[in-house]
Amino acid sequence: MSLSPDFASTLRAIFGDALALDVATRATYAYDNSRRETLPEAVVLPTEHAQVEALVRACRAQRMPLTARGRGTNTTGASVPVAGGVVVSFERMNRILRVDPDNRLAVVEPGVLNADLQAAAAPHGFFWPPDPTSAPFCTIGGNLACNAGGPRAVKYGATRDNVLALRAVAGSGESFRAGAPTTKGATGYDLTRLLLGSEGTLALITEATLKLVPKPSALRTLRAAYADVGAAARAVARIMAQPVTPCALEFLDDEALKLARAHGGDAVPDAGALLMIEVDGEPGTLAAAVEAVACAARGDGLLELRAAADAAEAATLWAARRALSPALRTLSPNKINEDVVVPVSRVPELVATTKRLAAKYALPIVCFGHAGNGNLHVNLLPRDAAERARAEPCLAEVFDAVIALDGTLSGEHGIGLAKRAFMPRALDAVALGLMGGIKAAFDPDGILNPGKLLP
Ligand SMILES: Cc1cc2nc3c(=O)[nH]c(=O)nc-3n(C[C@H](O)[C@H](O)[C@H](O)COP(=O)(O)OP(=O)(O)OC[C@H]3O[C@@H](n4cnc5c(N)ncnc54)[C@H](O)[C@@H]3O)c2cc1C
């Protein structure tokens, strides 16, 4: 769809110089971390809520597709403007409006980077729990729209558990507020949670009131090496079955460990599988909490259980874990990085299934991730055309297996373009129909991020 001169003038009147129509700038906003790309007709960079409202109204009047963008780090194509139209990048709405320790909250604009919010909250003794590995370069708006999470979600929850209120503009062009800056609320439907994870298909978020959590003053990092993936997966279920919740419980299979060792050296043990476990708390009680978790980690197949000697050793271990995702991309530029989730007690079956499918399809599959939530990154790594062809049916089998284990397609990355076709496997027709009705209520003309999320 191309822009009419009248519509371009309307956008110019709203945005002035913060409107880009040149190809070079549009190309910068055409792609995301999924490596898909479609050139938009225009890019706008709002700094105020009123501009966003005027933009949605103008786009609706023209039936013009409108795709929100944070920093384009999502993996599913969620911010690629597949139908063309306008990209609205929130990078200039990046003010932290308030950090309010008394009420344990922060009010931010959507373009604030996750790491910048953490830096602003830290001097007050607080943090915002969602901790995606991309925190230094992804926005709060993207976190909200994808329901992002990270290692800490096992104890503190993902984005959806840590938002109190939102201000937004629906696809209808109407502004509204959802939720309240209170820690309890029972006033009608929960529109806040509905917008979280909606991938910019219902409304554009212009302000968020986020729940802050006091930062524990002490932390211990353990590494537990196991003879094989089954032993490590069974330990995950034992750890989650006892009362002390670790603040990270990460799993690395044998293949992930080899890559992590290449990056982290001896800080990463040579074993069949590894759990990285963190326990936080206050100094007076931490030792007992660590011992409870360590006790559960011990069992059949444990080779070594070791506490990091100091912060530097723990940092090396985490750096090796964080290096995995980019390292896989160098092994296979076409890697398929899924983030399936199953009930924790079924992690052993999920891990066994991925090993079976890797053998069946003769395809490298590397698994690691947030095992304490049952959320594993299952990476299919096709290296040539034949492997790419086998990856497709293999992926479908991974999803079917996950659903048969009472799990679901995505724990944190969302659906976007990549998993849209699989939605009918995960949700029944009635649930999908209700979602379609919700989409129509918020966005009657279907202008917001068309082609995403719903099949
Ligand atoms: C190296 C790397 C590591 C990663 N690690 C993790 C991880 O550990 N955990 C995790 O969950 N994710 C991870 N991700 C994925 C990604 O960083 C997250 O999904 C992040 O939340 C996306 O933020 P963004 O600012 O880049 O948003 P974008 O990618 O630009 O957009 C994501 C979605 O949000 C919508 N959106 C953006 N702003 C708004 C708004 N204001 N209103 C409405 N909709 C909006 C977009 O339309 C799109 O649908 C990782 C990515 C990379 C590259």
Q: For the chain, list the domains and their CATH numbers.
A: 5-89 (3.30.43.10), 96-214 (3.30.465.10), 218-321 (3.30.70.2190), 325-426 (3.30.70.2740)
Atom number, ligand 1, closest to the C-alpha of residue 113: 25
Is residue 239 very low, low, confident or very high in pLDDT (cuts 50, 70, 90)?
Answer: very high
Whether the per-residue pLDDT at 1 is higher than 80: the answer is no
Percent of the residues in the chain that have a pLDDT greater than 70, as a whole number = 100
d(CA 400, CA 284): 46
Q: In what order do the strands lie in the sheet with 42-44?
A: 19-20, 42-44, 86-89, 66-69
3-state SS, residue 209:
strand
Question: What local confidence, expressed as pLDDT, does residue 244 receive?
Answer: 98
Nearest CA-CA partner of 442 in 59, 144, 172, 53: 172
Report DSSP state, residue 78: T
Question: What local confidence, expressed as pLDDT, does residue 276 receive?
Answer: 96
Whether the per-residue pLDDT at 46 is higher than 90: the answer is yes
Expressed in angstroms and rounded, the spacing between residue 336 Cα and the centre of ligand 1 is 17
Strand partners, 276: 223, 250
* Helix residue ranges, H only, 106-158: 114-121, 140-146, 153-156
Residues 273/228, Cβ–Cβ less than 8 Å: yes
Give the pLDDT confidence of 163-203 residue by residue, as tens digits.
Answer: 999 999 999 999 999 999 999 999 999 999 999 999 999 99
Question: What local confidence, expressed as pLDDT, does residue 252 receive?
Answer: 95
What is the CB < 6 Å shell around ligand 1? 32-33, 67-75, 78-79, 90, 110, 132-134, 138-139, 141-143, 145-146, 148-150, 199-200, 204-205, 325, 412-413, 449
Expressed in angstroms and rounded, the spacing between residue 379 Cα and the centre of ligand 1 is 19
pTM for this structure? Answer: 0.96
Residue identified by tokens 């053998």 is 359
Is residue 261 very low, low, confident or very high in pLDDT (cuts 50, 70, 90)?
Answer: confident
d(CA 301, CA 225): 9
* Phi-psi group of 379: left, alpha or beta (phi > 0 → left; psi -120 to 50 → alpha; rest → beta): beta
Residue with CA closest to ligand 1 atom 1: 134
Question: What local confidence, expressed as pLDDT, does residue 226 receive?
Answer: 97
Q: Taking all residues of the chain, what is their mean pLDDT, rounded to a whole number?
A: 96
Q: At what angle do helices 347-360 and 229-241 cross, to 10 degrees?
A: 160
Q: Which two tokens stand for residue 14?
A: 């709203």
Q: Which helix (H) or strand (E) holds 453?
A: none
Give the pLDDT confidence of 285-335 residue by residue, as tens digits.
Answer: 999 999 999 999 999 999 999 999 888 989 988 888 888 888 888 888 889
Question: What local confidence, expressed as pLDDT, does residue 9 receive?
Answer: 98
Average pLDDT (45-73) is 98
Q: CB-side exposure of 177: number of CA atoms within 13 Å? A: 9
Atom number, ligand 1, closest to the C-alpha of residue 139: 25
